[in-house]
Amino acid sequence: MTIALNKAGKRFNRDWIFRNLTHQFESGNSYAVIGANGSGKSTLLQAISGAILLNEGNCQWASASKIPADKIYQYISYCAPYLEIVEEMTLHEFLSFHEQFKPFVPGIGPEQIIAEIGMEAAQHKRIAQFSSGMKQRAKLAQCIYADAPIVLLDEPCTNLDRQGIELYYTLIEKYCKKRLVLVGSNDETEYRFCNNQLNIMDYK
């Protein structure tokens, strides 16, 4: 999988968030998108996901052949604080529901995921009753266990305690090595495994 940004630019009203951004991202690599609060990390991840349009330049996605923009969501798994989860469901229901749209990595189902993320005791509790750290574990699980070649993680350790952060590293190590991973963050804890860095401040 490759993602190629070519002279990409995004503005909201008259404010350019980034401009003239040319960069190639490849499977088997992990990229930290860094920069101060409000610099445009989430905006860039959303543009790469195809959720928002660029104002100049382009983003091209390719596997064996070019992937059209309206199909790229099938190849992407996304975890971010601004993405909601269905809180009326229990964790088990939520994972089973999600699996119908995007299958999990082969051989893994909701039960095994719940065991691996250490949430057996909470699996039949409504997500609305979860703590913020438990919700984040559920979001990470839904994202990382999905069998998608591109993994976009925006502030992935939000609300996680030390054990939650260890779990995050374990999931990255176990399931993300061959994928294309982008982490939007200004906290090194979240992106210390990344072998590439892109500072959004360089594209102002």
Ligand X SMILES: Nc1ncnc2c1ncn2[C@@H]1O[C@H](COP(=O)(O)OP(=O)(O)OP(=O)(O)O)[C@@H](O)[C@H]1O
User: Which residues in this chain contact ligand X in the complex, by CB under 6 A?
Assistant: 12, 17, 35, 37-43, 184, 186
**CA–CA distance, 88 with 113 (Å, rounded to integer):** 20
CB count in 10 Å sphere of residue 123: 18
Q: How far is the CB of 39 from ligand X (least distance, A)?
A: 4
Indicate the residue among 33 and 134 with the shorter CB distance to ligand X: 33
Indicate the residue among 99 and 154 with the shorter CB distance to ligand X: 154
Indicate the residue among 123 and 185 with the shorter CB distance to ligand X: 185
Tell me the β-bridge partners of 34. 199
Q: How far is CA 65 from CA 1, 23, 25, 148, in A?
A: 9, 19, 15, 16
Contact between 171 and 144 (Cβ < 8 Å): yes
Indicate the residue among 35 and 110 with the shorter CB distance to ligand X: 35
Indicate the residue among 30 and 43 with the shorter CB distance to ligand X: 43
Joined together, the tokens standing for residue 140 give 């990470």
Q: How far is the CB of 199 from ligand X (least distance, A)?
A: 11
Q: How far is the CB of 157 from ligand X (least distance, A)?
A: 13
Calculate ∠ Cα 17-195-170, nearest 5°.
105
Q: How far is the CB of 37 from ligand X (least distance, A)?
A: 4
Q: How far is the CB of 36 from ligand X (least distance, A)?
A: 7
